[in-house]
C-alpha cells in the first residue's frame, strides 16, 4: 500500500502510541479528588505544560477539545458570542468547513454578518484585503479567522502580519493551524494570534483529541455547559490517555520538524517533477513553495495538489486506489461530495479542472518508493480517466 494522504490523517508516532497504551491501563477521573483522580490530573497538567512549551504558549492557554472541529467551533462561535454587540465576522474564503460552516451557522441563526476574505491565485489572504474589510466598520468586527496553512493546496498565510493588524484594531484573530503544527514553525506567542486550533491525528497523535490555544484575555462563551472543566469554556470529562498521547506527538513532531520538513520538501519536489513529466498537461495548484514566509516555507513541505485536465477527481482516486495508491480529492471531511473544491473555486480555478484534482500529501512514514509507485501509475491512470471522460461526452453523460 502506498499511502499519500497524510493531510487527512497521519499514522500515529511510536512515542504517541506508547504514551497512549501506557495511560490506558490507569484509572482516575481528572476532576476527582482522591489519589487516582489526582494522578490523572497530574498527567493532564504535565501534558498541558508540554504542549505549551512545544507551541510557544502558556499552560493556562491550552484548552483541550475532542479535535480540530470542536476547537474551530469553540473559537468561531465562542469568541463571537464573547464580543457582545459586535456582528461582523471576517473569514478566509477557503477555510476548512469547520470554520466556514460555523460562521455560516452564526449568520443564519445568530444574526452575524459574515464577510469572506478573498484569496489570490495561490490561495493566500493578503493583509490589505483584510484591512479593507475591517475598515468598512472596524468597531463592529467580532473576530477574524484565517488558517495558518490550507489543508488542500498547502499555501501558507502571513499569520503574524494578519494578527498584528487585527491587534491594531483590538480584534481577536483565530487561526486554524491543524495542518501547520509539526510542519511549520508554529509559535503561539510570536504569532500574536488570539486563538489557535490543533488536532491530534494530523500530527501523529490519536483521533478524537485536540486543543484550542486561547489567550487568557480573550472572552469565549462555552458551547456546552456542565462541569466547568478547561477554564469553564469546555466542559466534559477529560480523555486522559488521548491527552497524554497528544502531548507526546506534538513534542516529537515539533522537535523533529526542521529535519523532517527538509526531507519532505525534497520528496515532494521529486513527486511533482515526476508527475508533471508523466502527465505534461497536469497543473500544480497553490504556492510553488520556492519562497519563505516568517521563518518558514510558503507551502506545506509535504503537500502536492495537482489538476489533471479531462479527468474527474473521483475516477482518478478510485483508479489509483485499485493500484494500491491512496490519496485524496481534497478535504477528507467532504469526501464523496460530487462538487468542485471550494478552495480551488475561491482561487479562481474553473469548475471543470477543479473537479479533476488530487491532493498527494506526505508524512513521517513516506519514502522514495511511494513516489516511485505514483510515478509509475499516474500516466496510465490519467489516460484511462481521460478516455472514460471522452466516452461519457460522446454518450452525452456530461
pLDDT in tens, 75-120: 999 999 999 999 999 999 999 999 999 999 999 999 999 999 999 9
Region class of 169: left (phi > 0), else alpha (psi between -120 and 50), else beta:
alpha
Q: How large a percentage of the chain has pLDDT more than 90?
A: 91
Say if residues 37 and 186 touch (Cβ distance below 8 Å): no
User: Does 391 have pLDDT greater than 80?
Assistant: no
Residues 263-287, mean pLDDT to the nearest whole number:
97
CATH fold of the domain at 14-254: 3.40.640
Catalytic residue at 333? yes
The residues, ordered by sequence, that sit 6+ positions from 398 with a Cβ below 8 Å of its Cβ are: 389, 392
Q: Which of 220, 311, 327, 333 is catalytic?
A: 333
Burial 234-247, CB ≥16 within 10 A → b, else e: bebebbbbbbbbbb
pLDDT in tens, 299-356: 999 999 999 999 999 999 999 999 999 999 865 555 555 678 999 999 999 998 899 9
Q: Which set of grid coordinates corresponds to residue 352?
A: 471543470
pLDDT in tens, 222-247: 999 999 999 999 999 999 999 999 99
Tell which CATH classification among 3.90.1150.10, 3.40.50.1110, 2.40.340.10, 3.40.50.20 matches the domain 2-9+257-394: 3.90.1150.10
The residues spanned by each domain of the chain are: 2-9+257-394, 14-254
User: Does 7 have pLDDT greater than 90?
Assistant: yes
Report the pLDDT value the prediction gives residue 393, as an integer from 0 to 100.
44
pTM for the structure as a whole: 0.95
pLDDT in tens, 49-84: 999 999 999 999 999 999 999 999 999 999 999 999
Look at the block and give the residue holding cell 499516474.
378
Burial class of residue 43 in the structure, from the number of CB atoms within 10 Å of its CB (0-12 exposed, 13-18 middle, 19+ buried)? buried
Predicted confidence band at 179 (pLDDT cuts at 50, 70, 90)? very high
Amino acid at each position: 500500500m502506498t499511502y499519500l494522504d497524510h493531510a487527512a490523517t497521519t499514522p500515529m508516532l511510536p512515542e504517541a502510541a506508547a504514551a497512549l497504551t501506557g495511560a490506558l491501563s490507569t484509572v482516575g477521573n481528572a476532576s476527582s479528588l482522591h489519589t487516582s483522580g489526582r494522578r490523572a490530573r497530574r498527567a493532564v497538567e504535565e501534558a498541558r505544560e508540554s504542549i505549551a512549551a512545544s507551541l510557544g504558549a502558556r499552560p493556562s492557554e491550552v484548552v483541550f477539545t475532542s479535535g480540530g472541529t470542536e476547537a474551530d467551533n469553540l473559537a468561531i462561535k465562542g469568541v463571537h458570542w464573547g464580543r457582545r454587540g459586535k456582528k461582523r465576522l471576517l473569514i478566509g474564503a477557503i477555510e476548512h468547513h469547520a470554520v466556514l460552516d460555523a460562521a455560516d451557522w452564526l449568520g443564519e441563526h445568530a444574526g452575524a454578518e459574515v464577510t469572506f476574505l478573498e484569496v489570490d491565485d495561490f490561495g493566500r489572504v493578503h493583509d490589505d484585503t483584510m484591512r479593507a474589510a475591517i475598515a468598512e466598520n472596524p468597531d463592529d468586527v467580532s473576530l477574524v479567522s484565517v488558517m495558518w496553512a490550507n489543508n488542500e493546496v498547502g499555501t501558507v498565510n502571513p499569520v503574524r502580519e494578519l494578527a498584528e493588524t487585527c491587534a491594531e484594531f483590538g480584534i481577536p484573530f483565530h487561526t486554524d493551524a491543524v495542518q501547520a503544527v509539526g510542519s511549520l514553525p508554529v509559535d503561539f506567542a510570536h504569532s500574536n494570534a488570539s486563538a489557535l486550533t490543533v488536532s491530534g491525528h494530523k500530527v501523529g497523535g490519536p483521533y478524537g483529541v485536540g486543543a484550542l490555544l486561547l489567550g487568557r484575555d480573550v472572552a469565549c462563551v462555552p458551547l456546552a455547559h456542565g462541569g466547568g472543566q478547561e477554564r469553564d469554556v469546555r466542559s466534559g470529562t477529560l480523555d486522559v490517555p488521548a491527552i497524554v498521547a497528544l502531548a507526546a506527538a506534538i513534542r516529537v513532531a515539533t522537535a523533529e520538524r526542521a529535519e523532517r520538513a527538509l526531507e519532505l520538501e525534497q520528496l515532494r519536489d521529486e513527486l511533482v517533477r515526476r508527475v508533471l513529466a508523466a502527465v505534461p498537461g497536469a497543473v500544480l495548484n497553490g504556492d510553488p513553495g520556492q519562497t519563505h514566509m516568517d521563518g518558514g516555507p510558503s507551502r506545506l513541505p509535504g503537500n502536492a495538489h495537482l489538476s489533471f485536465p479531462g479527468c474527474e477527481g473521483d475516477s482518478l482516486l478510485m483508479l489509483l486506489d485499485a493500484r494500491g495508491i491512496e490519496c485524496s480529492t481534497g478535504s477528507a471531511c467532504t469526501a464523496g461530495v460530487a462538487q468542485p473544491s471550494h478552495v480551488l473555486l475561491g482561487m479562481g480555478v474553473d469548475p471543470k479542472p477543479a473537479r479533476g484534482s488530487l491532493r498527494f500529501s506526505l508524512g513521517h512514514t513516506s519514502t522514495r518508493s511511494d513516489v516511485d509507485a505514483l510515478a509509475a501509475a499516474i500516466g496510465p491512470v490519467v489516460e484511462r480517466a481521460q478516455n472514460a471522460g471522452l466516452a461519457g461526452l460522446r454518450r452525452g453523460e456530461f
